[in-house]
């Protein structure tokens, strides 16, 4: 069941999609995660306007959130659509325990 819910059709899009985001939020709250990650978000989150970034779009889901994302930075960005990228959410108590964040040493967005 968990694999079906996490099919790629549920991933965040670079534009606002309230139904999709509400479904993601409801699923994450159902399983009561503290830390979770999304791979293949296919978006360079740094290139989007503030109101479309993950931090802004998901901040109302929990009382506290620490979000980290990484994109391929080995070449100049052209558009916000970028294959790959990853995001890690630490929520509630886990958000206060984040000591450090980073990405892979090859800057490939992992």
Strand partners, 66: 90
Judged against a pLDDT cut of 60, whether residue 29 lies above it is answered with: yes
Buried residues in 62-75 as b, exposed as e (16+ CB within 10 A): eeebbbbbbbbeee
Handedness of CA 16, 18, 20, 26 (dihedral sign): positive
Judged against a pLDDT cut of 70, whether residue 14 lies above it is answered with: no
Average pLDDT score over residue span 57-67: 87
> What pLDDT, on a 0 to 100 scale, did the predictor assign at position 90?
92
> What pLDDT, on a 0 to 100 scale, did the predictor assign at position 87?
87
Lowest mean pLDDT among 16-25, 50-59, 88-97: 16-25
Give per-residue pLDDT as tens, 84-101: 788 899 988 999 999 987
> What pLDDT, on a 0 to 100 scale, did the predictor assign at position 21?
78
């Amino acid at each position: 069941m968990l694999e079906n819910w996490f099919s790629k059709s549920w991933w965040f899009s670079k534009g606002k999609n309230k139904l999709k985001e509400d479904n993601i939020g409801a699923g994450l709250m159902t399983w009561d995660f503290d830390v979770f990650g999304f791979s293949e978000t296919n978006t360079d989150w740094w290139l989007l306007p503030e109101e479309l970034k993950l931090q802004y779009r998901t901040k109302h889901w929990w009382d506290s959130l620490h979000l980290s994302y990484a994109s391929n930075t080995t070449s100049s960005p052209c558009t916000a659509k970028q294959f790959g990228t990853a995001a890690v959410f630490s929520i509630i108590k886990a958000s206060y325990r984040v000591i450090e964040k980073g990405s892979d040493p090859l800057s490939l967005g992992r």
